[in-house]
Amino acid sequence: MSKEKLAFLGDTGVVFFSLGATLVTVALFKIFLARILGPEGVGLYSLLLVFYWIFSLFANFGQSSAVIKYTAQYKDRPSVLYPLISAALVNALLLGIGISVLTFFVSNILASLYGRPAMAELLHILALAFPFTTIYLLLQGVLQGLRKIKTYAELQILRALFLLTFGIIFVIYHTTVKAAVFGLVCTEVIVFVFTLYHTFPLLLNFKIREYLHYTHELFSFGGKMFLSVLINKLNYQGDMLILGFFLSDRMVGYYAVAASLNRFFWMLPTALERVSYPVASSYLAQNKTQKLYKLVDKCLKYSAIIMIALALITISFGEEIIQLIFGNGFEPSIPVLKILAVAAVFMGVVKSLGSLYAAAGRVEVNLFITTLVTFANILLNLLWIPRFGIMGAAFASLFSYSLFFTLFSVFLPRVIGYFIPLRWILRLMILVFTCSTLLGIMSYLSPSHFPRLFIILLYLIGSWIFLVSGEDKKFIRKIVSE
């Protein structure tokens, strides 16, 4: 087994574990909020988080993506790497302060626009976190580029644990959404300190002449990535913004509950993307085309197999999942969760290689795809949410994510020369159609859980026999035996 393969597998495993731990702790906090504050509290908090992350993107302005790319490229050239990181840090600090000031000015406008006067004060509190969040995200990008994945993962987990701890303590002390927001701000400040401790030796090479040079380079690439990431974020979170405008906090809360569970589906694809981006950048820089194709092939195939399995589980046991975790009173979340589970299959497959075009230096391709998909998503949300409520938002996500997958697949051969294997896709489609049909028949004939479990097991066995390559079967057996 090659050292590169082991390193990639190990890095993916570490990031996957950190994402799992992060999602579990965030989900626990959402469950806690749902139990204490009800759907209204979860709805308002979730809407605030959308604004928070959009403002954070403006504060970051693509610097994290640029740092990942250039750190991976220049990690063996300290004379270039260290001044570049120092320049990025100064930019992050200035941008973070600027966005904090801007948030103070626009918070009243947003609160008035959304008909939620209390939201202005909450946005004022969130504004305090932006300088710390911006620097934290930038330094996490440095760790990704250097492939210090263990440290990166530890800080991710630490952030989630602090968010859970502070959030619960503050909300118990004062049962309001404001308390939860204070918990988020405290978390960002403390995690910033820990991240700075791990990366401080890299930040001592600031020179004004080099700063101007590297700032131009960072903003040139980062600005393009910023547009792509911002539009992509609107594709993911635009539904929440539009839901908050048209519907009550309670309905937003029902949708937010389903969406938060749906994010568990993205654990593996996100882990693959965070590891594959610097690896793909390195392969492209060294002209290792065959290794790049192999990386793309594995990410696409196995993220698809796993995402479909998770979707089948959610469709089969959606009612039980919602009732077990959130209790009674969240029944409107069940059909939304099932639709979003199907949508997550398309987006999850793309997400595993979401930064591939950026690694290839074709940021404009990302920008074109995300712009087109986001436009379709927002348009459908505007048309369907007033008429169909939260179900309209769910179907808009399903359509836009499937469109994203289609466009991403079309550009793969044009950008890097990789063609998705159609025979493999055909086998997958036959297997999914067979299992879905059987699942529908069994659910109609019997309310028992066992037939549904049997069909999910049948899908997994069929995937192993027909979809996993012989080479990978040997590799998996070796890992299991060891």
Model pLDDT, residue 15: 61
DSSP summary character for residue 467: T
What is the distance between the alpha carbons of residues 347 and 270, in angstroms, rounded to a whole number? 11
Long-range contacts of 441-447 (CB under 8 A, 24+ apart): 443/316
Model pLDDT, residue 335: 92
Query: Which residue in this structure is represented by tokens 């220049």?
Result: 74
What is the distance between the alpha carbons of residues 269 and 205, in angstroms, rounded to a whole number? 35
Residues whose CB falls within 8 Å of the CB of residue 103, separated by 6 or more in sequence, listed in order: 55, 123, 124, 126, 127, 130
Please give the full DSSP string across 377-399, using - where no structure is assigned: HHHHHHHHHHHHTHHHHHHHHHH
Model pLDDT, residue 366: 78
Q: Which two tokens stand for residue 266?
A: 């993205």
Model pLDDT, residue 150: 74
pLDDT, one tens digit for every residue, the chain (482 residues): 455 555 555 555 566 666 667 777 777 887 888 888 888 888 888 888 888 888 888 887 777 777 777 776 766 676 666 777 777 777 788 888 899 999 888 888 888 888 888 888 889 998 898 888 888 877 777 777 776 777 777 777 888 888 888 888 888 888 888 888 888 889 888 888 877 776 665 555 556 666 777 777 777 777 777 777 778 778 778 888 899 889 888 888 899 888 888 877 777 777 777 667 667 777 777 778 788 888 888 888 888 888 899 899 988 888 888 888 887 788 888 999 999 999 988 888 888 777 777 777 777 787 788 889 889 999 999 999 999 999 999 999 999 999 999 998 888 888 888 888 888 889 989 998 998 888 888 777 777 778 888 889 999 999 888 888 877 777 666 655 55
Model pLDDT, residue 139: 79
What is the distance between the alpha carbons of residues 339 and 262, in angstroms, rounded to a whole number? 10
Contact predicate 96/133, CB 8 Å: yes
pTM over 0.85: no
